[in-house]
Amino acid sequence: MAKVLMKGNEAVGKAAIEAGCRYFFGYPITPQSELPEYMARELPKVGGVFVQSESEISAINMVYGAASAGARVMTSSSSPGIALKQEGIGYITKANRPAVIVNMMRGGPGLGTIQPSQADYHMCVKGGSNGDYHNIVLAPSSIQEAVDMVIEAFDLADIYLTPVIILADGLIGQMMEPVEFTNKKQREIPKKDWALVGKGKGERHITKNLDLNPLDLERENIELFEKYKKIEENETQYEDYLMEDAEYAFVAYGTSARIVKSAVRKLREEGYKIGLIRPKTLWPFPKEAFKRNNIKKYIDIEMSMGQMVDDVKLACEDVHKVVFYGRSGGVILSSEEIVDFGKSIMGGAL
């Protein structure tokens, strides 16, 4: 199929349908409303179901239900709406059920603003629900990558039986870029022999959340973390950008990474040996990308007050090597301020 120009939110919706998603439950909120609008328009055409629920909480519990029945299901929202979904995300995680959740982040805390932000890293990567758990978190930096990651997210959810979060921001949702939908081979998906099929249709399956025996729950948690170990070993992704001879490394994801790339090019023109490490999976975090002896400083850039920076410090195992610069509340970084901050760290001498 030839390239078309699409808004991020629409492209994510189309990618989900291409990946076989047939159920979407959601509630509108800027800057992601075009995504439920797209699903409302397009899902019925392929025999799918769209429901605008009465709240985000009911939407995520409808996702839990559809996921338990073995469906490919998605919901989306933006920051405060994702906060409301946290309880349900924990339940889906505990039940080992597959679901894809899209967060087009906006400025917070609270109701905040409608402009783009990256301040939900802690909520989505560290887990905003209760208990011992992780979710796979994918962070696209372009609309094409958002398309590819959504398709991959459905596979990851089905393989590992876990919620997968697409963590993007309002700019990725609202921006238009050329995209193409290639029929990339999807992965081998295990049979869903756990799905609820209805009374009298074969063996009995159960989806459950309550474990009153602590020893049973501990055993399940240990199993959960054995699964997480496999995900960490097999699914970690990151990009190196102009890192071959780099002495300094910016670290950024999503929209920030695009702006940082522009700053890297400007600094390279002036002779600075700097590159960018861009985590594409935020959980599992690409720790191995930070085991480099030749890097003098990791310069973490985010559209937040500093959240991923904690993981960078842990990964490089030297807090003194990590510095942070960010903008918050929906303010978009400029490549000029990143260049200036980079220079203030590297000094004038080349």
Partner 1 sequence: MVIDDKRIRIISGHYGSGKTEFAINYAVKLNEMGMKTAISDLDIVNTYFRSREKAFELENIGIKVIYSSIKNGNYDIPAISPEIATPVKDKSYNYIIDLGGDDVGAVTLARLIPILDKSEVDFIMVVNTKRPETSTKEGIIYHKKSLEKATGLNITGFVNNTNLVRETTEETLKEGENILFEVSKETGVPVKYTSYIENIIECKPKNIKTELFPMKFFMREEWM
Q: Does 4 bind partner 1 (CB under 8 A)?
A: yes
**Burial label, 162 (beta-carbon count in 10 A; 0-12, 13-18, 19+):** buried
**Burial label, 106 (beta-carbon count in 10 A; 0-12, 13-18, 19+):** buried
Cβ-based nearer residue to partner 1, 129 or 174: 174
Please count the residues of this chain forming the interface with partner 1, following the rule CB under 8 A.
24
* Chosen residue from 177, 220, 240, 337 binding partner 1 by CB under 8 A: 177
Pairing status of strand 248-251 against strand 238-241: unpaired
**Residues 184-223: x/- map of binding to partner 1 (CB under 8 A)?**
----------------------------------------
Report in angstroms how near the CB of residue 323 gets to partner 1 at its nearest.
21
Per CB under 8 A, which of residues 6..25 are in contact with partner 1? 6-7
d(CA 303, CA 116): 8
**Burial label, 12 (beta-carbon count in 10 A; 0-12, 13-18, 19+):** buried
Cβ-based nearer residue to partner 1, 175 or 312: 175
d(CA 267, CA 275): 9
* Chosen residue from 69, 95, 114, 217 binding partner 1 by CB under 8 A: 114
d(CA 26, CA 35): 9
**Residues 252-271: x/- map of binding to partner 1 (CB under 8 A)?**
------xx-xx---------
Report in angstroms how near the CB of residue 146 gets to partner 1 at its nearest.
14
What is the CB neighbour count within 10 angstroms for residue 54?
9
Applying CB under 8 A, the residues found at the interface with partner 1 are 3-7, 30-31, 113-115, 170-171, 174-178, 258-259, 261-262, 330, 334-335
